[in-house]
Chain A
Amino acid sequence: MSGEILLQARGITKRYRGLLANNNIDLDLRRGEIHALIGPNGAGKSTLIAQLSGELEPSAGQVLFRGREVTALPVHRRARLGISRSFQMTSVFEEMTVMDNLALAVQAHHGHSFRFWRAAHRCQALNREAETLARRFGLEERLHQPASALAHGEQRQLEVALALAGDPPVLLLDEPMAGIGPGGTHELTRLLGGLRERHAVLLVEHDMQAVFALADRITVLVYGEVIASGSVEAIRANPEVRRAYLGDDSLQEAAC
C-alpha cells in the first residue's frame, strides 16, 4: 500500500426508513490502485458510490478528499475538485455528437461557462482534449456521429471517457462493463488497467474475470456491510466471501 490516500469514507451509513442500505462503511482509495467493490445485487454498492460522489447525503459518516471533509459538498463541487463518476445506466448525451459529448465534459474543467459570445465548437483547446480522449477510447472514427448511433459497447466506452475528462484524481466507475459482450470486455479491461497509473479508481463490477484481472484490492459488500477487504488472494481464499457471494463456479472460472 504505497500511494497517498485520496478519498476516504468513514463510517458511511445510509438509512431509508427501515432499510439499512449502507452500514458503517470504511473505505479508502489510494493513488495508483484500483480498488474493486463487489457484492451481490442490492448490497448497496451504487448507494455507496452516490454518497462518495455527492448525489446522496449519508445518514451518518464522513467523506474525505485529500484529508479534507467534503461530506456537505454537492456533486458538482466534488466533481470540480476531482471526484468523477461514471454511471451503471449509460448516461451520455444521445442527441449530441461524440465530439460534443466529450467537449462538454472537458469544458466543465475549463473555468466557468458563463461565456455567451464565442462559438463553443470552434474552441480548439476544448476540441483537442476531446479528440485525445476519443483516441484513448478508440472512438476517433465516431467523433462526428451522434452518441445515439453508437453500438452499446462504444456507448459504454464513451460513458467512461466522459468521466475521465479533466483528468480527475479519483474515479468512481459503476459497472463500466454492464451489458458488453466478451470481446468488448477485453478491450475495456485493457483501458481500465491503464487508469491505475494516474488515478485512484473505485471499480464496481459484476464481471469477476475483469475484477480479478484489474483489482489491487477488493472490498466485499453484503447487505450494506463490508464483510471482507484485502488483496485479491486474500479475498479469494476468504471462506466467508465464498459462502456469501462468490459461487465456487465463478472462482474457478476466473482462475482459468
Chain B
Amino acid sequence: MLRGPSALRLRVLLGGGLLLLLVWPWISALFGGDYLVSVMTRVLIFAIAAISLDLIVGYGALVSFGHAAFLGLGAYVAAISAFHASEGLPLAFGFSGSESLLVNLPLAMAVAALVACVTGLICLRTQGIHFIMITLAFAQMLYYLFVSLDAYGGEDGLVLPARNSLPLLDTADDRQFYFLCLGLLLLYLYLAHRLVNSRFGRVLRGSRANETRMRALGYNTYGYRLAAYVIAATGAPLAGVLLASKTEFVDPGLFSWQLSGELLVMVILGGMGSLYGAVIGAAAFLLLEQWLAAWTEHWMFFLGPFLVLVVVRARHGLWGVLTGNGQ
C-alpha cells in the first residue's frame, strides 16, 4: 500500500493547486496585468521539462546532466521549421517547414527521440558519475553544433516570425497561450502518472533499487533503461517548442549545462520521484528567481542557501514538506 500522504491532504493539495492555476490569469489581472501570466506560463513550460527529467532521475536513478539538450532541440525544431515556412525556403525531404504546432510538436519529439536513441545506446553503458559526464558531453556537442549553425543565427540565435499556431486557438493571445500550456502540462502529467504506475514503471523502480536482483529475476535492465531515457527525451521538446513560441526566440543557451543544471535543481528541490514535486520545484525555483532578481542582482547568493536548506532538511523535497512526508 501507499505509505504516502493521506488521501484527503493529497486531494486538497492537488485540487487547490489546479484551482489556483485555472484562475491565475484573473488573479494576475487584479495585480496589474499580463506580466504574471507570462511568468506562470514559463513555470508551466519548465514544469513539463522537469517532469520528463524526473522520469529518469527520480524513477530510474539516471542523473542526466544534459536534459536541456532535448529542450533545446525541440525549441530549434519549432524555430527552424517556422523560419523556413515564413521565408519560403524548402527545408529537407520536400518539407518546406510549418508554423503549426500540430506539425512542429510531433516533429520535435521525433527528432529528440531519434537523438536519444543514438546517444542513449552509448550513455547507458555507463552509470553514476560517468553517466552524468557523458550526458553532459553529448549536450555540449549539440550546444557547439548549434553555435556553429550560421544559417540559423549561430551564437546570436534565431527570432521566430510568430508563435507557432493552432487551429481554433489564438496562440498570440497570452491568456490563450497560458491555457494551452496548462492543458499540455496536465495532459503530460497524466501520461507520466500512468507510466510510472504501469508494469514498465515498476521495472524502472526495481532497477533503480537493485539492478543485480532485477537481472537475476530475468529483466534486461539495459533495454528498459534505454526506453525510459528515450521516453523522457520526448517530453523535454514539448517544453522546448512551447518555450520557443512563448519567447519567439531561440539561442544555443537552451542547450547549456546551466539550464540542464537548473532542471535538475527543480526536480531535486521539488522532490524526486513524485512527478508533482517536479511541478512544485519548477514553480519554486522560477518564482524565487524572479522575485529575488527584482530585489537584488545577487539573487543566487540567497537562492543557494535555500536550496541547501531544502536538500538537508527535507528528504523528499518541497512536495514531501507539503504532503507531510518529509523528514
- Please give the residue numbers on chain A whose beta carbons come within 8 Å of chain B beta carbons, in ascending order: 53, 55, 74-77, 79-80, 84-85, 87, 91-97, 100, 103-105, 107-109, 113-121, 123, 144, 146, 162-163, 165-166
Contacts and interface: CB of A to CB of B under 8 A. Distances in A.
B217 A79 contact: yes
A113 B202 contact: yes
Contacts of B201: 116, 120
Contact of A91 (B194, B203, B212, B227): B212
Interface stretch (B19-27, B218-226, B233-241): B218-226
A80 B198 contact: no
A123 B219 contact: no
Contacts of A80: 218
B199 A123 contact: yes
Contacts of A100: 202
A95 B210 CA distance: 11
A197 to B, nearest CB: 23
26 contacts: A55-B216, A74-B220, A76-B215, A80-B218, A84-B216, A85-B216, A87-B213, A91-B212, A91-B213, A91-B216, A96-B206, A96-B209, A97-B1, A103-B202, A104-B202, A105-B217, A107-B199, A113-B200, A116-B194, A116-B198, A117-B194, A117-B198, A119-B194, A120-B199, A121-B197, A162-B213
Given A76-B218, A108-B219, A113-B224, A93 B200 contact: no
Contact of B215 (A79, A96, A103, A144): A79
B3 interface: yes
B198 A115 contact: yes
B195 interface: yes
A80 B220 CA distance: 10
Contacts of B209: 93-96
A104 B206 CA distance: 8
Contacts of A108: 217-219
Q: Is the contact region of chain B dominated by helix, strand, or loop, or is it mixed?
A: helix
B205 interface: yes
B1 A144 contact: yes
Given A79-B218, A113-B224, A104 B197 contact: no
Which 5 residue pairs across A and B have the least CB separation, nearest first?
A: A79-B218, A108-B218, A115-B199, A120-B199, A80-B218
B197 A114 contact: no
A109 B195 CA distance: 20
B197 A120 contact: yes
Nearest to A165: B217
Contacts of B212: 55, 87, 91
Nearest to A95: B209
Nearest to A89: B212
Contacts of A105: 217
Among A53, A95, A146, max chain B CB count under 10 A is at: A95
Contacts of A116: 194-195, 198, 200-201
A2 to B, nearest CB: 29
Given A79-B218, A91-B210, A95-B209, A107 B194 contact: no
A79 to B, nearest CB: 4
Contacts of B198: 115-120
A92 B217 CA distance: 11
A52 to B, nearest CB: 12
A254 to B, nearest CB: 31
Given A76-B219, A93-B210, A93-B213, A113 B203 contact: yes
B215 to A, nearest CB: 5
Contacts of A79: 215-218
A108 B210 CA distance: 15
A115 B3 CA distance: 25
Nearest to A110: B199
A146 B3 contact: yes
Contacts of A75: 215-216
Given A79-B215, A91-B210, A105-B217, A115 B205 contact: no
B217 A162 contact: yes
B203 A107 contact: yes
A163 B206 CA distance: 15
Interface string B179-210: 00000000000000011011111110110011
Given A91-B213, A93-B210, 6 more contacts: A93-B209, A104-B202, A104-B203, A113-B199, A113-B224, A117-B194
A121 B205 CA distance: 13
B219 A113 contact: yes
A93 B220 CA distance: 17
Contacts of A84: 216-217
Given A91-B210, A97-B1, A104-B203, A119 B197 contact: yes
Given A91-B212, A115-B198, A117-B194, A104 B227 contact: no
B305 to A, nearest CB: 30
B188 to A, nearest CB: 14
Contacts of B220: 74, 76-77
Among A76, A96, A97, A163, max chain B CB count under 10 A is at: A76
A46 B224 CA distance: 28
A108 B1 CA distance: 21
A252 to B, nearest CB: 37
Nearest to A109: B218
A93 B217 contact: no
Nearest to A99: B1
